[in-house]
Amino acid sequence: MTEITEVPSPFCGIGTDDLTVQVDGLALKVTANGCAVNTPAFEQAITDTSPRVEGKEVSLEVAAKKAAALLKDTKLPVIGGCATDVNGMRALLALADRVGAVIDNMNFGFARNNFLTLQDSGWINTTLAEVKNRCDLLLVVGTDLEAFAPRFFERYIWNKEAMFVDDTASRQVIYLGKAPSGSASTSPNGRAAKVLTCADADLPEVIAVLRALVKGNVIQAEAVAGIAIADLQAIAEQLKVARYSVVTWAAGALAFRQAELTVQTLSEMIKDINDMNTRCSGLPLGGKEGDQTANQVCGWTTGFPARTRFSRGYPEYDPFLNDANALIANGEADALVWVQAFNAKAVLPTNHVPTIVIGRAGMTFAKEPDVFIPVGTPGIDHAGHAYRMDNVVAIRLKKLRDSGLPSTADALHAIENALREMTVC
């Protein structure tokens, strides 16, 4: 039994790198600095280590050849999930290029709200280090930040040391939309966050009014979506006088149509505040299950985020037409490769096409896939790199145990090599 300290996590999105993990053979136990996200993710048990073809255990070589045979003559295969590390994503892109596949990260339907805003009008965003060292006012919009990242406040708001904030306990926290599920947002001196709640569907109107107040426009109504205009006016004034305010949101929590317009309103409000002799930045939340990694690697490889197809021999990006679920549901896709190296409880999209799963050991299925190759988890079974939510740091992941499982990159390379051999023959 060994104990490994300063373990980085690929699971929570905020770059937690101070976990202590006890390793006993294949069993892991988080003994220090765990949380509701990281602890169960690290402690998922391995229940299978052998690849399967039609439910029967086979070697990796046999599974790779079967997968290659399923992909060889496809017209439009889809590679979904994309939950892996940097090397896994690079191998995924290489396979997509070879077979002319569409790639679609499973969280892209949410991330699209951010990408459409970025592409249309741009934004001003910050990093976790800047939040830690400069933020004096945090506005959390439409999400339960404590549920998303349980240790966010501990590490980046109530941290003991900050370069440009004398007393971090004096920082102000405001929740707009959803209330926090716990007490992590309460300051060390006992001051609770200010909370103004409304329904998700009312957020577009509330945010539009808040931006109007920031710009100095007069609102005739006394309330919007149950929130007093006076309370929104107070937030607007706080944003304008703060030295470095940060507005954060999770695109996946904005569960209403055309949520990208609300993200755009927030981003434009941030620009307005920066015209007022103060500083304000956005902080989109993300990074769970490799979504930031997938879009980063796809971006610097092809020039586009996920939802990119290679069927014409070059990458084509379309955030709507290249939706994996829609392609499968409409009968346009003729094979599915699902990559999920982080979460054994992940659920595949419903499909009736030949299916190849490259997944974390222990995955269960309502319907056994044609090919299942269990792979190691980055940061547990092999070293690797993963991008945290602010996209500026690639976390160096450690190998904690010897499970004998191949990496996602190994499994995808094996399939690509089998395809290459078929082509040569």
Q: Return the SS3 of 177.
A: strand
Q: What radius of gyration, in Å, describes the C-alpha atoms of the chain?
A: 23
pLDDT tens digits for 281-293? 999 998 888 899 9
- pLDDT for res 289: 86
Instruction: Provide the 3-class DSSP secondary structure of residue 310.
Output: coil
Nearest alpha carbon to residue 362 among 370, 350, 348, 372: 372
pLDDT at 349: 86
pLDDT in tens, the chain (425 residues): 899 999 999 999 898 999 999 999 999 999 999 999 999 999 999 988 999 999 999 999 999 999 999 999 999 999 999 999 999 999 999 999 999 999 999 988 888 999 999 999 999 999 999 999 999 999 999 999 999 999 999 999 999 889 999 999 999 999 999 999 999 999 999 999 999 999 999 999 999 999 999 999 999 999 999 999 999 999 999 999 999 999 999 998 998 889 999 999 999 999 999 999 999 999 999 888 889 999 999 999 999 998 999 999 999 999 999 999 999 999 999 999 999 999 999 988 887 899 999 999 999 898 999 999 999 999 999 999 999 999 888 899 999 999 999 999 999 999 999 999 987 65
| H runs (alpha helix) in 200-290 | 203-214, 229-241, 259-274
d(CA 84, CA 70): 22
Cα 209 from Cα 228, distance rounded (Å): 11
Q: What is the pLDDT of residues 286-322, one digit of tens each?
A: 888 889 999 999 999 999 998 999 999 999 999 999 9
How many alpha carbons fall within 13 Å on the CB side of residue 80? 27
- pLDDT number for residue 351: 79
Q: pLDDT tens digit string along 103-136?
A: 999 988 888 999 999 999 999 999 999 999 999 9
Q: What is the DSSP letter of 303?
A: S
Q: What is the DSSP string of 348-405?
A: PPP--S-EEEEEETT---SS--SEEEEEPPBTTTB-EEEE-TTSS-EEEEPP-----P
The whole-number pLDDT of residue 425 equals 57
Beta strands 384-387 and 56-57, pairing class: unpaired
pLDDT of residue 135: 98
- Give the C-alpha separation, 355 to 78, whole Å: 10
How far, in Å, CA of 176 to CA of 174, rounded?
6
- Helix, strand or coil, per DSSP, at residue 340: strand
Report the alpha-carbon distance of residue 211 to residue 101 in Å, rounded: 42
Give the single-character DSSP code of 347.
-
pLDDT at 392: 87
Q: What is the pLDDT of residue 424?
A: 67
From first CA to last CA, the distance across the chain in angstroms is 49
